[in-house]
Amino acid sequence: GAGVSQSPSNKVTEKGKDVELRCDPISGHTALYWYRQSLGQGLEFLIYFQGNSAPDKSGLPSDRFSAERTGGSVSTLTIQRTQQEDSAVYLCASSNPVGRQPQHFGDGTRLSIL
Partner 1 sequence: GENVEQHPSTLSVQEGDSAVIKCTYSDSASNYFPWYKQELGKGPQLIIDIRSNVGEKKDQRIAVTLNKTAKHFSLHITETQPEDSAVYFCAASKGATSGTYKYIFGTGTRLKVLA
Binding site for partner 1 (CB under 8 A): 4, 31, 33, 35, 40-45, 48, 55-56, 58-59, 91, 93, 95, 98-100, 102-108
Q: Which is nearer to partner 1, 43 or 74 (CB)?
A: 43
Q: Which of 64, 100, 59, 105 is nearest to 84 (CA)?
A: 64
Q: Which is nearer to partner 1, 14 or 42 (CB)?
A: 42
Question: What's the alpha-carbon Rg for the chain, to the nearest Å?
Answer: 13
Q: Closest distance between partner 1 and the C-beta of residue 81, in Å?
A: 26
Q: Which of 79, 71, 65, 95 is nearest to 3 (CA)?
A: 95
Q: Closest distance between partner 1 and the C-beta of residue 86, in Å?
A: 19
Q: Which is nearer to partner 1, 33 or 65 (CB)?
A: 33
- 54 in Cβ contact with 65 (< 8 Å): no
| Residue 44: DSSP 8-state | E
- 58 in Cβ contact with 65 (< 8 Å): no
Q: Which is nearer to partner 1, 18 or 107 (CB)?
A: 107
Q: Closest distance between partner 1 and the C-beta of residue 99, in Å?
A: 3
Angle at 106 between CA 7 and CA 61, to 5 degrees: 80
Q: Closest distance between partner 1 and the C-beta of residue 114, in Å?
A: 21
